Structure 1
């Protein structure tokens, strides 16, 4: 009878824990006046770096007849083998679909998911579902990181003004007028180029590579999500294969940027480091590894293991091994010493000793 009552109490406690509602009056004001303002600021700033000349690019000089800057002009970005119309959907749609599928699957696969997430109520009318809150938090931070990557890469490009491998092909300097007589002569005048000013400005923004930074950010963010959140049982190769499939487009993009003479190898390396660092920082320091730290699951598993009863009809050696594995479930408390007289201590079964 006592076991039946204990089982019903445990079930009722779990049901109460699953339907627990947490009240919060600051979630909507914080979202409207803090998070949306920060997101709007990053979007506006990234737009100015990407599509306007609000921040002038540093005019860096060059050496006469520099072979590292004399590669042929590969054409506009739209003629690349990875044009913007393919790059931007790839770095946005693929991570979003992966995260959505992972979160929806976790609701049906993970039995302890509802214990870690609570319904948030803001007043009497607004209730935020745990799944919706988690998806908005992960995807919202992913979008914020994308714009931060654009801002950081654009700011470094504006400050440094490093040239692309095809810079001299679009600059078209007049070496005779500049008095170039040797390869070690440095030209620092801002009026050395005679080509199209728009192409010259774009050719001065190569370090770090912005496409490489965006591709690395999206790939690392999605790979960390797959590694930390998705639980795939029965196969040890599914998760590594999926991670390699997500990372491969980023590596291929870096190789194509160098092969098409749009960036130097150091530019794509720096862009990869920038994008990866931003993704790792947001996932580890802001999202706390997507809330998938296994401390709660380990505590819950330890509780379930501790609650396993030890049968009384086991052989003594087997029972001793079970008691060693589950010391907290020992039916008899350990003996302790209770002072009976000032000079005599006798063993007694008790939970604490009072002096």
Structure 2
């Protein structure tokens, strides 16, 4: 954790920083949180620990009467391809970007080498790659948890739900489209397919695609320093966004999700990516320590000893002089001394002679 890397620079090595908390924080805090996130995502995805909410439906509802498109692996953009792209594209981009920034000594990417226990050195290049990819992996599993939680809580049906459910309208007594069916055993289709058809909101593929695109685009925009052309970063960014939008369009075109499901997935993935980039890893820039507050300095003497502050006592002569110069004294008239005549003056010689 960058927030725990406190220490003093090693003497004679200004590019080396000492830290005794980086290894314990990584082993006992970050890895534990990461393991818990992965475990929770696994329980949501592959177990029945969290049952899906069973929603009813209206008879002959056209919203859920689209034809069954087949299993997910038969899609034009199957989940395996989506998962491969959201894993490979950010990894390759971050590794290449960090190598280029390290060897070109780009501003804002140069950090100090961390040494702990006077024996273990952590290279800044390796630390930045592990930090950015670790945060990305954490966000990827977090997005999966948020999406699966939304699907389990809402239980919204896909556009092909009735084709997968295959309800017996005669046994259910459906006589009009306004009749609502809330029975749990109304479906006669494959239970696994029916359960998958109840997980539509939000779209998981759309959320993961946009999360990967936003995270990678922000990395390219904030880290890459292209001086030769102005179109490199916009081209990469728009390409990644187009790929993410294409995933959502295909999900809607194949009747696997509604437009509202895709938009909710876009918002979920984009919000998580923006939060992690801006609030967790400080926009991929070097995290500078907070400057220590300056303490007010006391006045010191020439010898370096602190001076003792004594109470200020006003002199009677200064007070009299201020009163004489005040415009309000003596009815706003300036004070005039009486004229001095020669008779008043006593020569000093006469006084000394008398004495």
For residue 73 of structure 1, what is the aligned residue in structure 2? 68
TM-score (norm 2): 0.76
Structure 1 CA distance, aligned partners of 2:267 and 2:69? 25
Partners of 1:225 and 1:218 lie apart in 2 by: 11
Q: 2:212 aligns with which of 211, 215, 218?
A: 218
Q: What is the rounded CA distance, in whole Å, between the counterparts of 1:290 and 1:20 in structure 2?
A: 20
Written as runs of structure 1 = structure 2, the 5 A alignment for 1:148-187 is 148-187=142-181
Query: Which residue of the partner structure matches residue 232 of structure 1?
Result: 226
Q: Are 1:285 and 2:279 counterparts? A: yes
- Give the corresponding residue for 2:240: 246
The structure richer in helix per residue is 1
Listed as ranges, the gaps of 5+ residues in structure 2 are 1-10, 289-355
Rate the CA distance shift 1:90–1:111 in 2: closer, same or farther, 3 A.
Answer: closer
The within-5 A match list for 1:1-355 is 19-112=14-107, 116-291=110-285
**Deviation for aligned residue 1:17:** 9.6
Post-superposition CA distance 1:108-134 (Å, at most 9, x none):
2235457x4111111122111111111
- Cα distance, 1:78 vs structure 2: 0.8
Residue-by-residue CA offset, 1:25-48 (whole Å, 9 max, x unaligned): 111011001100111111111111
**CA separation in 2, counterparts of 1:285 and 1:234?**
31
**Bigger Rg, structure 1 or 2:** 2
Shift of 1:240: 0.4
Paired with 2:124 and 2:273, the residues of 1 have a C-alpha distance of 24
1 CA distance for matches of 2:229 and 2:220? 15
RMSD between aligned alpha carbons? 1.9
Unpaired segments of 5 or more residues in structure 1?
A: 1-15, 295-355
Structure 1 residues 220 and 234: alpha-carbon distance in aligned structure 2, compared to 1, 3 A threshold? same
Seen in structure 2, the aligned counterparts of structure 1 residues 111 and 70 have a Cα distance that, compared at 3 Å, is: closer
